Structure 1
Amino acid sequence: MGPLGSGLEWTGCSSWLGRTSLHRHWLTVCLVLLSCVVRVGWTTSLEEKRFYAERHKNAVLMAGFHGYQKKVKNVQWKRGNNSVLFYDSGTKMFGQYANRARYDFDNNTLILENVTGEDVGLYEVSLVTENATLVKMVLYLEVIAALSEPRISISFGNSSWAGLNMTCEVSGGKDLSYWWLKDGQPLPQDGRHSVREGNWSLQISNLTHRDCTNYSCVVANRLRSREAHALVTAANISLCEPMRDVQSQPLRNRDLLSLCAGLLCVVGMCLVIYCVRRHGQVVS
């Protein structure tokens, strides 16, 4: 074969060797990555969970195992850069948590006692399984103020048409929910009952005697609810007593008419008797 053929053969051989070297390079990289996976294991991160606790009460942070419980080798809880606990066939608490925290491995739950604003924040939970899989969970704890006893204040307009206003007042807490009950039932949808100002104010217009009754305000946060009651009577508004007596008023009128009719009958009978006797005396 001539020089040209030899050159073509050499070029093809060099191209093949180049591709072979490239394949070997990528194969080496894959083997290194595979060895890292076998040695370190997979890392799985789960979405954040939020928990709420009342100030100076206990906070229960339940992380769970998400199907890894039988394979867990050790568990670590951290808050920022501070270690909370480490579990490996036994629980070890760190720092302040040694005196005010308890851990339940059965459901991977941390219980913090007497929580304050300093306990608010992110808690990172790391599970290491027997096959070196690392599972990470993030929990957020929010500490909220205790919900105080609500109180209902009542104000009235200048007339029954102007109506009455009831305001539900409560101190402490945030992100509160309000709703009202009338005689233990939801408010009537009659256009006269309306709520405003985030539902903590109730207004009733065009008052009738049926509005002289019991009202309840229910206040709730993320942990509990409390309620207050107010009774609208004649002691609150003068309109209530006459309204409640409207149906009894006709009975009183009828009684008066009956009494008058009876008196007239008696007087008439007396006149008849008097006239008869008078006539008898004249005849005799």
Structure 2
Amino acid sequence: MRMCHPPALLGTSWLLLAGLLLALQQAAGDLRRKATAVGSSVLLAGLGNVTHIYSVQWEHLNGTSSHTILHYNKGSQDPAIHVPYTGRAIFHPSNGSLLLEDVQESDSGIYKVTVNMGERESLRILLEVLKPVSHPRIWSSLLVAQATGEVFCEVAEGRVDTITWKKDGQPLPPDRGFHLSGSLSVLSLRSAKKWDCGSYSCNASNEVSWQETSLNVTIAGLSPPLQNALRMAVVAVVFAAVSGWGLIFPVCQSEKLRIRGELWRWLSVYTCGLVCIASILAGTAGILWMREEGPSVAIILPEIALTYVIVVTFLVSATVTFQPTKLMQLKSKTAQRTMGYAAPGGVVSVVLTTSFLIKNIHQRHGERRYSRDHPKEEGCTELVDVTTLALSIAAVSALPLLAIFLCYLSSRRSHDSGMAEGT
């Protein structure tokens, strides 16, 4: 993470140099300090305790060398202003003051005015020309309940002297763990809770300007992996329910009316394929859960079963689709039972696994754990809305089954009509 910036380092170096010059110059005469913004005008006052002014000299001190701005003697013409102050410096002979217009950062430094050269009365002024601070940019890291998050405030332009934080308009105490490095301030939210939600604002300032920016912060009850796990679990249980109807329907029919031929083939392909996809989604949701919450026997054992279901249902779907005759020629009773029970067993495994995941994810999001000291609430965001997702997935996945059943009803009517005409 970028914590310091070259302009900030240069500004810090200049301040150290100015502080050193300040200490060295205090012994030689009075030293005053002024700060102003880039592009503004600043009046450098002369010595106010001098009754009669005969000569005035203004200099800009730069380290150990000096640069003369002007030299004025009473009774002479207006003094010539030396470069780089030509055209933007105005001298007032009556009091010896100097007005600088459109000042820039390069004008910073110590200005020395000497009045009546023989008496050697002088004054030194430390001038700081600062860029106004720009609007801070404020953003946050991923903020999840019970985890540590951070809110960042960074100023792109201008030397930053202070960054202060507020929450909902109230100043935050200094023990909230924020620190300043260059023009970047970091506010740490440790073990984020519901009461950490709100409007955070950072105020960046220096001696000539200040700017403030706000950000609405919400603490999510679930991390993105758990949100994805919830969505996958919901889709998986919907697929399992739809495929379960596809498996139950032929069983409920009598032997005479049972689906056969091509319709049975496509029904088998679709139900096995749907169970395979549901198992993959349920298994992935379980892995995401364990990554967030740690390994659990309640997930590991179903993961093993789901892996077995995925392999078998995929092989059955592929065989029935591309080589159905091989399935008919299968003589092994064990293999037939394995293939016959794989899809129903997969439906049961998916339903049990996803039910466990959905229940625990809901508890993880919305539970309130009370202790003797204080209640602890998780997040301030609503749980992921899965109702629309479940209804849309159910409607789409049921369409192929509906088409197969309609074709079956149509073929039965044609068959019954033909039998009636034959009699």
Same fold judged by TM-score > 0.5? yes
Note the alpha carbon deviations across 1:110-149, whole angstroms, 9 max, x for none.
22222234423332201129xx533112223333334211
More moved, 211-220 vs 44-53: 44-53
**Cα shift at 1:82:** 2.4
Higher strand share: 1
Q: Name the CA distance, whole Å, in 1 between partners of 2:96 and 2:163.
A: 35
Note the alpha carbon deviations across 1:21-68, whole angstroms, 9 max, x for none.
xxxxxxxxxxxxxxxxxxxxxxx952333333333x134243342422
Q: 1:67 aligns with which of 49, 57, 73?
A: 49
**Cα shift at 1:194:** 2.1
**Cα shift at 1:107:** 5.8
**Cα shift at 1:225:** 1.2
Q: Name the CA distance, whole Å, in 1 between partners of 2:146 and 2:79.
A: 69
Q: Name the CA distance, whole Å, in 2 between partners of 1:183 and 1:85.
A: 56
The answer for unaligned runs of 5 or more in structure 1 is 1-43, 244-284
SS of structure 1 residue aligned to 2:178? strand
Residue of structure 2 equivalent to 1:95: 82
Matches within 5 A, 1:82-121: 82-86=68-72, 88=74, 91-96=78-83, 97-104=85-92, 108-121=96-109
Note the alpha carbon deviations across 1:196-252, whole angstroms, 9 max, x for none.
244711012233333221111011122211111111247x77732349xxxxxxxxx
Provide closer, same or farther for how the CA distance between residues 124 and 212 of structure 1 changes in structure 2, counting only shifts above 3 A: same
Which protein is bigger by CA-based radius of gyration?
A: 1
Q: Name the CA distance, whole Å, in 2 between partners of 1:106 and 1:204.
A: 60
Provide closer, same or farther for how the CA distance between residues 206 and 104 of structure 1 changes in structure 2, counting only shifts above 3 A: farther
**Cα shift at 1:172:** 2.4
Matches within 5 A, 1:1-284: 45-55=28-38, 57-68=39-50, 70-79=51-60, 80-86=66-72, 88=74, 91-96=78-83, 97-104=85-92, 108-128=96-116, 133-157=119-143, 159-188=144-173, 193-198=176-181, 200-233=185-218, 239-242=379-382
Provide closer, same or farther for how the CA distance between residues 118 and 128 of structure 1 changes in structure 2, counting only shifts above 3 A: same
Residue of structure 1 equivalent to 2:21: none
Provide closer, same or farther for how the CA distance between residues 151 and 106 of structure 1 changes in structure 2, counting only shifts above 3 A: farther
Q: Name the CA distance, whole Å, in 1 between partners of 2:195 and 2:95.
A: 54
Q: Name the CA distance, whole Å, in 2 between partners of 1:78 and 1:219.
A: 34
* 8 Å contact kept, 1:148–1:171: yes
* 8 Å contact kept, 2:153–2:185: yes
SS of structure 2 residue aligned to 1:210? helix
Q: Percent identity?
A: 27
Q: Name the CA distance, whole Å, in 1 between partners of 2:147 and 2:207.
A: 36
Q: Name the CA distance, whole Å, in 1 between partners of 2:162 and 2:173.
A: 19
Kindly provide the amino acid, as one letter, of the partner of residue 33 in structure 2: R
SS of structure 2 residue aligned to 1:48? strand
* 8 Å contact kept, 2:53–2:74: no
- In the superposition, the TM-score normalised over structure 1's length comes to 0.56
